Every structure is written in C-alpha cells, then in structure tokens.
Amino acid sequence: SQHVGQGGSYNLLDFLADIDAVAEKLSNEPFTLVGHSLGSIIAAMLSSIRPQKVKNLILVETVLPTEVNEDNAIEQLTTHLDYLASPQEHQIFPDVATAAERLRLTTPTLSESLAMQLADRITESKVDGVCWRWDALLRTRTGIGFNGIDRAKYLGLLRQIKAPITLIYGDRSDFNRPEDLSAQQKAMPNATRIVLAGGHNLHLEAAIDLAKIIGG
C-alpha cells in the first residue's frame, strides 16, 4: 500500500478498521485469526469487538501498549510530535546482499538464502542503492497509546474475548517483559501458552513449528 507521506501518521484504529473491512469481504464464516507483535493487538481488539467473526485467536509474541501516566504524558507527546515533524529516513544499502546481512544481524538464525529472498522482497531501488520498502514512520507508535486505547483499556478488551486463545512466545525474545507476561496471564487466564525456540520473529525463526500450531 502507499505511504501516508510527510505530515501523516499511522493510527491503531485505522489498522483495526482495515482488518475489519478485509474480514467482512473475505468470509461470512468465523475464522482463525493470527496476529504477531503489533498485529496481535489489532487481532485481539477485533476478536473482542467482533466475537462472531473469530473462532480461534492466535497471538504470536504479543505485546501490550505502554503505560502513560500524568507525569510523562506531555514528554511522550512532545517526543512523538517532534518525530512526526522530522521523521527518520531509511538507511541506503549499496545492494540487496547488504540489506540481507542487516536482516541476519537482527535475526541471526535466518539462513543466507532466506535473508536474500526477504531482502529482495522488502527493499526498493534508489539512485544510490536500495532501502526498506516499508514506511519509516512506522517506527513511531504515536497512534497506539493516544487513540484512547491505553494499557488498562486494552487489558479490559482482552478479558472480554470469547474465542479460544493461544499465546506463542519465543524463548529468546527480548519483548517478553515479566510485568507484561503477568498482566497477560491475568487478562487471559484460560489461554493456551506455547514457547518455541527463537526470538521475536518466530514467523521467520520457527516457521514450520508455528505453521503446525496454526494449522492444528
């Protein structure tokens, strides 16, 4: 899809509306919904709001919105506004092979061949090399905590999900903070919990095992 461009931003409710519209077009029957990382927040919200559509919910390396209190709300808003006013730009790599090397730095278990395939798919050509195809604005999450969906409200949505929930974590992930895991446990006490070998990007590092769980 096209980028929003200078002066634009991405908001959680926009993502939610997108997946709601796609679900409405694709199927009249309840389906299994899978979400990874930020996508898991969107998947969980849809499952809570549209319970008739989701028969199974699978959250992979799920995260929680950060907690914003009165003491740092102004500071966080200022940081986000400054970022949106002067967003970072993607680094230019000399070639796809160099971009593939960068992917392997963040996900060391990626094979060279898969890293090359991914890099070829998610980069675009520039005059002096290649850069990531995705919008650099996605680095900021302004629209998550300031759309009225804060941590407490989101945990409330999780408690209302009626579909069976499967939570899948990577045993080497840096995203699974103890306080988040505890909050998820309290909000989804009946969820099935599975730990796979890998980091945050389980869809790359443990693709076969993950596919078996989803298909099972």
What average pLDDT does the structure give for the chain?
90
Ranges under pLDDT 70 in the chain: 1, 7, 68-70, 141-148
CB atoms within 10 A of CB 103: 20
Ordered domains of the chain (ranges, CATH)? 1-65+140-216 (3.40.50.1820), 88-139 (no CATH)
List the Cα angle 164/165/166 in 5-degree steps: 130
CA distances from 2 to 10, 41, 70, 120, 133 (A): 12, 22, 35, 19, 10
Cα torsion 104, 107, 111, 115 to 10°: value is -60
The pLDDT value recorded for residue 138 is: 81
The pLDDT value recorded for residue 142 is: 54
CA distances from 196 to 150, 184, 199 (A): 29, 18, 9
The pLDDT value recorded for residue 78 is: 84
The pLDDT value recorded for residue 167 is: 99
Tokens standing for residue 170: 């990577």
Residues 6+ apart with CB under 8 A from 128: 92, 94
Say what the pTM is.
0.87
> Do 161 and 57 form a contact (C-beta atoms < 8 A)?
yes
Tokens standing for residue 193: 């919990």
Burial class (CB within 10 angstroms; exposed 0-12, middle 13-18, buried 19+) of 205 = buried
Tokens standing for residue 80: 């986000």
CA 214 from centroid of its chain's CA atoms: 17
Q: What is the pLDDT of residues 75-111, one digit of tens each?
A: 877 877 887 777 788 999 999 999 999 999 989 989 9
Residue from 55, 25, 61 nearest 41 by CA = 61
Query: What's the rounded Cα separation, in Å, for the pair 71 and 53?
Result: 39
- The residue behind tokens 């408690």 is 159
The pLDDT value recorded for residue 82 is: 82
